[in-house]
Amino acid sequence: MGEITIRFTEPPIQRLMDYIFENYRELDDFCEIESESKDTAKCVECHHRSYYSGGNPIYECDNFKRVYLIRFLARQFEQSDFLIKEQVLGEIEDKTDLSAVGCKDIRPCK
């Protein structure tokens, strides 16, 4: 029988969050919508205002997308974690044999 190797690494969600924070935290100091240099704090204000009082989210703006990602990233993971705990764990925690199937593309597994 071969050796068993256990590797302790960060959970995949933590690695994804670290990647996002590392690569998307910097905002451009040029506003694509108004075609002028802006204080990046204005991007956060723009994002916040866009969701209230008939606001208009500007998803074609890269800074808008970055602000959205950073502001709501933790909440999205929290919601996913809740669903997994509520809907999936109960179905598998008493199982002794589990199998997982992975697909290399986005088409459904057969």
Per residue in 60-87, pLDDT tens?
A: 888 888 988 888 887 777 777 777 777 7
- 28 or 7, which is more confident? 28
Mean pLDDT calculated for residue range 17-44 = 85
- What whole-number distance in Å separates Cα of residue 29 and Cα of residue 35? 11
pLDDT score for 102:
52
Backbone angles phi, psi at 68, to 5 degrees: -60, -45
Bridge partners, 36 (sequence order): 31
Q: How far apart are CA 64 and CA 57, in angstroms?
A: 8
**Could you tell me which residues come within 8 angstroms of residue 20 by beta carbon, excluding any fewer than 6 positions away?**
69, 70, 73
Give residue-wise pLDDT tens across range 86-104: 777 777 777 666 565 555 5
> What average pLDDT is seen over the chain?
76
Q: What is the pLDDT of residue 71?
A: 85
Mean pLDDT of 13-26: 84
* Amino acid 107: pLDDT: 53
Domain ranges for the chain, please list them: 12-77
Answer for the pair 37, 30: CB distance below 8 angstroms, yes or no.
yes
